Structure 1
Amino acid sequence: MATVDGDLIPLGKPRPERADAARNRRLLLDAARRMIAEDGVGNVTMDDLAERAGVGKGTVYRRFRTRAGIFAALLDEGERAFQQRVLSGPPPLGPGGDPVDRLIAYGQGRICFLLEHQAVARAALDRNQPIPAGGPGLTRPHVRYLLGQAGLGGRHLDALTLQLTAALEGPVLLYLATPAEALEAPETQETEEQPAWTGHLEALAEGWEVLVTRVCGSTP
């Protein structure tokens, strides 16, 4: 757990691992990144990952349980870096700024993060589980805290928190109509052209600012 302006925020720190388990995890994640870079997210399988990493198939299934678990583990590392910016970075994203400005900055930063990692974020969704609307993690408690700081307490606070969280964390972002080639392109690839999701980013970032400022009773 960590604290953001007095609120406890679950960081989801991993449990201590045995040396061999930590080694296998690193081998598997490194192999998964290479496979994504070479062949795209859609071509990563549990069996191929085991072969590429040089471990047994049982190790892969024990570590990740499902194919979606592979991508959830990859996404987790990026999540931790983003959380640290919120916990200890400069305002308006980090502590110390106006709560409405912080909420706008958080949502825009979160949108950018999810779109940058869209292919992996989509693959991390388990088809056998409900689409998340902001469960355990930073977004829901942080949005709730900032809404309270902005004076939006009372009986609507939890409902507003859920609705704003869902706008950032759920199917609205992960199931945008995006060209297939954008989803399959290696996430680390750099080109002179802007990414395919740039237009989505601008529209969603502007829309989030409008949404937050209207909810909080001001105008952008």
Structure 2
Amino acid sequence: MRREPTEPETATTKGAGRRERTDAARNRAKILAAAEGIVATQGVQGLSMADVAAAAGVGVGTLYRRFGDRSGLAYALIDAREREFQAAFIEGPPPLGPGAEPGERARAFLRALTDRTVEQLDLLLMAETAGPLARFGGAYEAYHGHLAMLIGRLRPEADAYCLADALLAPLAAPLLVHRLRDGGVGVERVKAALDELLSGITGD
């Protein structure tokens, strides 16, 4: 059977594809920035698809096609920030990234993770309470593996696997919400307590 000739790809169609991808990336950045602004001022409960679309200057349909629903948008906000954070402790500058001593890196990591959690506390509270084991997803495993590796270098004889869990437990979003908002505990107090816990484990 004879096939009909297809339209050859020209420089014009190639350019259109590139423009479309560039526009899509730009729109995504605008949407996420608008959503972050709304969450910062109104909390997660104020995260309306219509308001985000208006603030980003895009159609509501674009939002639903790209993110599905309000929960999908919230998880996209978490994912964008999470990628930045993981890049920082995996390949960023010391002391958070490679190049510092294990104890110094662990201390910098726990302090940075405290800030990262507080920064998106309402979003992370929603994510971590979505199911019985929701907290223990990919991000938690990355944190746990990183801490266990650092503890293992400092104390090869210690149970680094369980000690990493002990260090991460105080940074569960529900506990932080309770302590910071209901218990009057400040962020620096949380960081200082984590420093003490780490010192007890590492013997520093």
TM-score with structure 1 length normalisation? 0.65
- Cα distance between partner residues in 2 of 1:165 and 1:211: 11
Amino acid corresponding to residue 135 of structure 1 in structure 2: G
Residues 117 and 173, structure 2, Cα contact 8 Å, conserved in 1: no
| 2:193 paired with 1:214 | no
Q: Quick one: structure 1 residues 200 and 134, their matched pair in 2 at CA, closer, same or farther if it must change by over 3 Å?
A: farther
- Cα distance between partner residues in 2 of 1:85 and 1:75: 15
Unmatched runs of 5 consecutive residues or more in structure 1: 1-17, 180-196
- Cα distance between partner residues in 2 of 1:176 and 1:63: 36
Q: Which residue of 2 aligns with 1:89?
A: 92
Structure whose alpha-carbon radius of gyration is higher:
2
| 2:162 paired with 1:159 | yes
Unmatched runs of 5 consecutive residues or more in structure 2: 1-19
- Cα distance between partner residues in 2 of 1:122 and 1:48: 22
Report the secondary structure of 1:176's partner residue: helix
1:79 is displaced (CA, Å) by 2.6
- Cα distance between partner residues in 2 of 1:99 and 1:37: 34
Residues 24 and 55, structure 1, Cα contact 8 Å, conserved in 2: no
> Which of 69, 72, 86 is matched with 1:69 structurally?
72
Residues 102 and 154, structure 2, Cα contact 8 Å, conserved in 1: yes
| 2:88 paired with 1:102 | no
- Cα distance between partner residues in 1 of 2:47 and 2:160: 41
1:128 is displaced (CA, Å) by 3.5
Q: Quick one: structure 1 residues 126 and 84, their matched pair in 2 at CA, closer, same or farther if it must change by over 3 Å?
A: closer
Amino acid corresponding to residue 139 of structure 1 in structure 2: Y
Q: Which residue of 2 aligns with 1:149?
A: 153
Bigger relative contact order, structure 1 or 2 (CA pairs below 8 A, ≥6 apart): 1
1:99 is displaced (CA, Å) by 1.3
| 2:204 paired with 1:202 | no
Amino acid corresponding to residue 34 of structure 2 in structure 1: A
Number of residue pairs matched by the alignment: 180
Aligned-residue CA RMSD in angstroms?
A: 3.1
- Cα distance between partner residues in 1 of 2:91 and 2:130: 36
- Cα distance between partner residues in 1 of 2:54 and 2:155: 55
Residues 124 and 173, structure 2, Cα contact 8 Å, conserved in 1: no
Amino acid corresponding to residue 201 of structure 2 in structure 1: V
> Which of 24, 29, 32 is matched with 1:29 structurally?
32
| Percent pairwise identity | 31
1:134 is displaced (CA, Å) by 4.2
1:148 is displaced (CA, Å) by 1.2
Residues 71 and 121, structure 1, Cα contact 8 Å, conserved in 2: no
| 2:120 paired with 1:117 | yes
- Cα distance between partner residues in 2 of 1:166 and 1:65: 32
Residues 74 and 123, structure 2, Cα contact 8 Å, conserved in 1: yes
